[in-house]
Amino acid sequence: MCLKLYRSSVLVFFGSVCSLAVAQPIEVVPVRSEAVQRTSLLPGELLPYQRVSLHARANGFVERVLVDRGSAVRQGQLLATIVAPELKSQTAEAESRVHAAESVRAEAEARLAGLEATYERLKAASSTPGAIAGLELLQAEKNAEAARAAVRSAESAVKAAEAAVQAMKQSEAYLNVVAPFSGVITERFAHPGALVGPGNAAAGPMLELEQVSRLRLIVSVPEASVSSVRRGARVTFTVPAYSGHTFNGTVARIDRSLDPKTRTMAVELDVVNNRNELSPGMYCQVSWPAGKGTESLLVPPTAIVTTTERTFVVRVVDGKAEWVSVRRGATAGELVEVLGDLSAGDLVVRRATDEIREGTRLQVRRGAS
């Protein structure tokens, strides 16, 4: 009785072990073939959309500087004033010449009025035969014509004098330095009391102004990727200052000429920087679209096994495992490109390990690709 019970227990234990040894179905997926959108990381540099060195347009001494480095300014805003006392005296002298010319013109107009009146009376009297000599009438006509010429000359003198005054006033306007566009002052070189002017080259510029609400991103595209350059294309990039944050730019200007030394072509992208997060001079990593190449073979990343000896996938052929050596390529979403002796549609183990020995018979089930 005891022996019989012992044997039944052994059979029960042995049956449980056998049930554990039954192989579970292994999930397989087909190798996919797709044209992969390739990108390459290219270095780039941000530059201001506009940059200008502001010089004085009139000789004088700096009176006030209303901005400093880092000041945000608007277009037309007054930045600095210059004082030039001799300019005011020259303007007053020009205005006095205008008054003198106007006096001469008034005298010429009065003389013309008298001579024209004399000529009209003689002309009316000449209608009576013998009342006026013909030579006297001719002389009166010539005197009136000369007076008209004198009036025209006086009017020209007045216009010239007024133009001189306008030029002097324009020069006085040059004593005010204003912003040609909205931006940020990045350098200040002038201080009150400094001698400035267009002829003072040693003094250099007074201020540096840069437009930073809009930037230029300069990318040197290698010759192999030139065919992928498209005006208006949107390109993403990152900067070290904002780790994990992605920015966008639009291809706006294409050089169309390659640098013979580097075999690259300069491409400019417009970058909107309304929040002033980016600054000119920043280094960028640009994800440049290299275009779609030939069809690539794609598998899940878990299907690739890497050991100290080789990298491979486990292909299922006639129900048996076969190791196929491969090389990793580009990542395409949730799949990875593989290069090796594979074909589209081949079934590979989704979660492969080196424990699945080559030649092992597998019980497989088809998974979602």
The answer to whether the beta carbons of residues 146 and 122 sit under 8 Å apart is no
Question: Quick one: which H or E segment has residue 153?
Answer: helix 134-173
Choose the final residue of a domain: 293, 312, 335: 293
Alpha carbon distance 369, 365 (integer Å): 12
pLDDT at residue number 23: 53
Please tell me the predicted confidence (pLDDT) of residue 332.
77
pLDDT at 218: 96
Specify whether 89 is located in the same domain as 168. yes
Last residue of a domain, one of 242, 259, 293: 293
Q: Which residue has the tokens 């904002």?
A: 242
Number of domains the chain contains: 4
Per-residue confidence (pLDDT) for residue 367, from 0 to 100: 67
19 within domain boundaries? no
Whether the pLDDT of residue 104 is over 70: the answer is yes
- What pLDDT digit, counting tens, does each position of 73-84 carry? 999 999 999 988
Give the amino acid at 56: A
> CATH number for the domain including 322?
2.40.420.20
Do 95 and 135 belong to one domain?
Answer: yes
Q: Is residue 229 a part of any domain in this protein?
A: yes
pLDDT tops 60 at residue 15:
no
Q: Are residues 308 and 325 in the same domain?
A: yes
Q: How far is CA 170 from CA 87, 175, 274, in A?
A: 11, 9, 35
Do 258 and 244 fall into the same domain? yes
Residue 92 neighbours by CB under 8 Å, 6+ apart: none
Secondary structure (3-state) at 312: strand
Residue by residue, DSSP assigns 232-298 as T-EEEEE-TTSTT--EEEEEEEEEEEEETTTTEEEEEEEEE-TT----TT-EEEEEEEEEEEEEEEE
Nearest residue to 82 (alpha-carbon basis) of 165, 169, 172:
172
Tally of CA atoms within 13 A in the half-sphere of 272 that contains its CB = 4
Lowest mean pLDDT of 68-82, 113-127, 197-211, name the range: 113-127
262 inside domain: yes
Is the same domain home to 179 and 74? yes
336 lies in the same domain as 349: yes
Q: Which two tokens stand for residue 298?
A: 């794609």
Which residue would you say has higher pLDDT here, 21 or 179? 179
Predicted confidence band of residue 5 (pLDDT cuts 50, 70, 90): very low
Mind listing the pLDDT tens digit for each residue in 268-309? 999 999 999 999 999 999 988 875 556 789 999 999 999 989
What does each C-alpha distance from 140 to 104, 116, 128, 131, 255 come to in angstroms? 22, 8, 17, 15, 75
Can you give the CATH number for the domain in which 218 is found?
Answer: 2.40.30.170
- The CATH number assigned to the domain holding 75 equals 2.40.50.100
Cα–Cα distance, 55 to 174 (Å, whole number): 10
Same-domain pairing of 226 and 339: no
Q: What is the DSSP letter of 361?
A: B
Flag whether 167 is in a domain: yes
Short-list 212, 226, 67, 91, CA closest to 161: 91
CB 177 within 8 A of CB 197: no
Q: Which domain holds residue 346?
A: 24-36+295-366
Which pLDDT score, from 0 to 100, does residue 34 have? Answer: 83
Does a structural domain hold residue 356? yes
Which candidate, 22, 20, 46, places its Cα nearest to that of 272?
A: 46
Residue pair 144/115 in contact by the 8 Å Cβ criterion: yes
- The verdict on residue 29 lying in a domain is yes
Which of the pair, 123 or 175, is modelled with greater confidence? Answer: 175
Contact 69, 184 (CB under 8 A): no
Q: Rank 9-13, 153-157, 244-248, 365-369 by mean pLDDT and report only the highest.
A: 244-248
Q: Could you give phi then psi for residue 91, rounded to 5 degrees?
A: -65, -40
Same domain flag for 185 and 75 = yes
> C-alpha dihedral over 209, 215, 220, 224, to 10 degrees?
-160
The three-state secondary structure class of 119 is helix
How far apart (Å, rounded) are the C-alpha atoms in residues 80 and 207?
9
> Are residues 140 and 91 both part of a single domain?
yes
Q: What pTM was estimated for this model as a whole?
A: 0.59
The mean predicted confidence, pLDDT, of the chain is 83
Residues 92-103 pLDDT 10s:
777 788 888 888
State the pLDDT at residue 368. Answer: 62
In single-letter form, the type of residue at position 11 comes to L
> What are the counts of helices (DSSP H) followed by strands (DSSP E) for the chain?
3, 19
In a domain, 322, yes or no: yes
Domain boundary among 252, 278, 293: 293
Inside any domain, residue 12: no
Predicted confidence (pLDDT) per residue in 120-145, tens digit: 777 776 667 766 666 776 787 788 78
Over residues 107-126, mean pLDDT: 77
Mean pLDDT of 335-355: 91
pLDDT of 157 above 70: yes
From the centroid of its chain, how far is CA 227?
Answer: 21
Please tell me the predicted confidence (pLDDT) of residue 11.
37
Answer yes or no: do 194 and 302 share one domain: no
* Residues 238, 134 share a domain: no
Classify burial at 356, counting beta carbons within 10 Å of its beta carbon; exposed 0-12, middle 13-18, buried 19 or more. Answer: middle
Q: Which residue is listed with tokens 């000896």?
A: 309
305 lies in the same domain as 358 = yes
Q: Which amino acid is at 264?
A: T
Query: Are 225 and 40 within 8 A, CB to CB?
Result: yes
Q: What are the pLDDT digits (tens) for 249-262?
A: 999 999 889 999 99
